[in-house]
Copies of this chain bind each other. A is one copy, B any other.
Amino acid sequence: MAKRARRLGVRLRPHVKTHKCVEIARLQAPDGAITVSTLAEARFFADAGFRDVTYAFPFPPGKEEEALDIASRLESLNLLVDHPDAARRLDHSARGAGTRFPVFLKVDCGYGRAGVDPESEEAVALARLVAESQGLELRGVLTHAGHAYHARSREEILAVARRERDVVVGLAERLRADGLDVPEVSLGSTPTCSVVDRLDGVTEIRPGNYAFLDVFQSAVGSGDRRDVALSVLATVAGRYPERGEVLIDAGSLALSRDPGPTHVDPACGLGVVLPVDGDGEGRVTSLSQEHGIVRGLPDLPVGEKVRVLPNHSCLTAAAHDRYHVVEGGEVQDVWRPVRGW
């Protein structure tokens, strides 16, 4: 992804929510510029020496004091707004503290989750409100094409990626034509950043999942399953030959419970199961809190170890308090992520 960013002429500001782990973020972002999904991540990475952090969630009112505290320990804590009420509260807090928050206008490029409508008058009005607020500084416009995960192929992802780019670059140009300064144009998801061909007018990308990849990315064509770097080690605890199933000691809490890429693989199940010793491949077909039921490997003996490749590595990683870093079949290190909010 770093190579792709260089070739596309943009900064890589990786989204560290996928792993929440300093050691991995250092590999991705030697310049210390990252994206986070929680203020807990912002604190954790600030303590670890990262200097330029974008909290990529429409700022939730009530957390202004916490953000001020974290910002005081960073070169830049960049915040998102998509509603004037949130912007006004941020402005009020920053002015009270005699400082300024750098702010991105969060833009909806078709995902329909959060962000202003880029065609609307409200988008321009909110950008102007930010630019003219004494406690805020308009840092730029930002979007995330999460609907790339609904794609069925690299071609469909590419169409979403081009639209993600065109929407956010187009809005930046409108705002500039309206007299506003828009230094940054930020976008990205792992699917779109993995396939997009040109990023003219964009200054940075924020993919996250590529650090691990997962069954979902390989199903939609934005990653190769041989590159999936995260798995959960589990033990076969029961065998039920009459129904062709085995039981593993990893359930919803260890694997998380993401329905997976059912739109391209209705039988994807809840995770791909690979024996540590031996061949073949199974699927997790049902999960309860600590129980995982596996089909496709009915001959695995009780006591065998398996690796489960997750449907969605961000959620699965968040279920654990440490990573065992494995190379050549040996645990080389233990890395500890941040948890909570």
Chain A residues engaging chain B, CB cutoff 8 angstroms:
17, 37-38, 57-63, 82-83, 85-86, 89, 112-114, 117, 146, 235-240, 242-243, 247, 249, 252-254, 256-259, 286, 288-291, 293, 301-303, 314-315, 318, 320-321, 339-341
Contact = CB atoms under 8 A, between A and B. Distances in A.
A232 to B, nearest CB: 11
Contact of A247 (B58, B236, B257, B318): B58
Contacts of A318: 253, 289
15 contacts: A17-B289, A57-B249, A58-B238, A60-B235, A61-B237, A61-B303, A62-B303, A82-B238, A83-B237, A83-B302, A85-B302, A86-B237, A112-B243, A289-B318, A320-B340
Closest 10 CB pairs of A and B: A61-B303, A60-B237, A60-B249, A60-B235, A85-B302, A58-B237, A58-B238, A37-B290, A83-B302, A114-B238
The quantity of this chain's copies bound in the complex is 2
A341 B255 CA distance: 13
Nearest to A37: B290
Contacts of A259: 259
Nearest to A149: B288
Nearest to A17: B289
A86 B320 CA distance: 26
A53 B247 CA distance: 22
B303 A321 contact: no
Nearest to A303: B61
Given A83-B238, A289-B315, A303-B86, A113 B61 contact: no
Contacts of A60: 235-237, 249, 303
Nearest to A321: B340
Most buried by B among A85, A240, A293, A339: A240
Contacts of A59: 237
B290 A38 contact: yes
A117 B314 CA distance: 38
A235 B286 contact: no
B291 A113 contact: yes
Contacts of A89: 303
Contact of A114 (B58, B242, B291): B291
Contacts of A289: 17, 37, 314-315, 318
Nearest to A290: B37
Contacts of A257: 256-258, 315
Contacts of A17: 289-290
A302 B238 CA distance: 50
A114 B239 CA distance: 8
A339 B315 contact: no
Most buried by B among A60, A61, A254, A315: A60
Contacts of A112: 243
B235 A290 contact: no
Contact of A113 (B253, B288, B339): B288
Nearest to A243: B112
Contact of A288 (B146, B238, B321): B146
A132 B340 CA distance: 48
A254 to B, nearest CB: 7
A235 B57 CA distance: 12
